Amino acid sequence: MKRFIIRSILFLLPLVALISAFEYVQRQAPHEFKYKAAFMDKNAEQLEMLIFGSSFTHRINLNDIGYKAFNLSFPGQPIELDYALWQKYKPRLTSLKYIVLALSCWTHGKTADGLEAWRTPFYNIHYHLPSSLFDLQKNYIVANPKSALKRMDVIMHGNFDQMQPTCDSLGSSMDLLRNRPANWNGRTGKTMARRHSVYTPETAVKNHQILEQMISEITSQGIRVILITTPTRQAYYEHLTPEISAMTLAIGTKMTNTHPLVSYLNLLKSDHFTEEDFMDDFHLNYDVGGRKLARLLHDYIAADTLQTAPIQ
């Protein structure tokens, strides 16, 4: 028995060493969160505006917004991770005046344990969010093998340019109009809208509770919240289920009625945005649409319309 144990240990040691090295190399690779965490560590006290959300708000171009702003959005980021980031940095956000928070189909049906679960370790690694050490999938890149192997293949081939953060100095994704694919408006807006409309009642209730708690904490500090449903093209929004569209509007309206410092900017079907503003059917590009949305937010705040009813 003793010999078996020794042999087992000798067999496992190289495997453990290999997995550990694999994890270490992955953690040293460039990542957008590494940059964002360093920025927040250095500048949190000076910020006047923060952007939270998923890919819908990831391309807001903040360079001309008129405030010291930073974008903490990221593709696939659910409301529970928005809330975790808020909780981490809130003691240091002493100059903060506004939070822009995406309100979309993603708010209702997506969680950190869903299809985007492979992203969660990067939050815990770079932002040092609290989590159980025994939750391997949330703490270790290698616990999500499909994603880890894909990243390792990039590393082994020396294609580090593919891993460099694509965000600007203020945290927003720089997807430029000139880089829009030739078939950009054929990216199955209908398919993605239907996929984004999927949720379970249990997840929606949980997410709405998190949203309510987050907003309550923010507004209790005198910080204004702008809930925003970002612009999309008809090929996308007309295929969202009526139920998910109604739920988004209802939650936005409820939050504005419940919290005096909350407003809801509903731009889902806005005719202010044209074809050149989009990267695909449901995302703005950075240099045209993202800049336009930032100017709209600036004017919206300047006009002191933050307690008005939702606009269509």
**Backbone conformation region of residue 115, classed left if phi is above 0, alpha if psi is from -120 to 50, else beta:** alpha
d(CA 26, CA 148): 8
Average pLDDT of the residues in 177-198: 84
Edge-to-edge order in the sheet of strand 98-102: 69-71, 49-52, 98-102, 224-229, 262-266
Residue in the structure block whose two tokens are 């190289």:
14
How much is the pLDDT for 308?
A: 41
Query: What is the per-residue DSSP string for 273-304?
Result: --GGGBSSSS-B-TTTHHHHHHHHHHHHHHTT
Q: How far apart are CA 291 and CA 108, in angstroms?
A: 27
Whole-model pTM over 0.85: yes
The pLDDT value recorded for residue 165 is 75
pLDDT in tens, 235-273: 999 999 999 999 999 999 999 999 999 999 999 999 999
Identify any residues that bridge with 65 across adjacent strands, giving them in sequence order.
none
Phi and psi at residue 118, in whole multiples of 5°? Answer: -65, -20
pLDDT class for 147, splitting at 50, 70, 90? low
- The two tokens of residue 220 are 């209790």
Per the CB < 8 A criterion, the answer to whether 192 and 281 are in contact is yes
Q: How far apart are the C-alpha atoms of 78 and 110, rounded to whole Å?
A: 6
Domains observed in the chain: 44-116+166-302 (3.40.50.1110)
Residue 226, classed as helix, strand or coil, is strand
Rg of the chain in Å (alpha carbons) = 21
pLDDT for residue 3 is more than 70: no
Q: Please, are residues 177 and 276 in contact by the beta-carbon 8 Å criterion?
A: yes
- The string of pLDDT tens digits covering residues 48-88 is 999 999 999 999 999 989 999 999 999 999 999 999 999 99
State how far the Cα of 164 lies from the Cα of 160, in Å rounded to an integer: 6
> What angle separates helix 2-28 from helix 145-156, to the nearest 10 degrees?
60
Residue 122 has pLDDT above 80, yes or no: yes
**Residue 182 pLDDT greater than 60, yes or no:** yes
| pLDDT of 297 higher than 50 | yes
For 74, phi then psi, to 5°, come to -160, 145
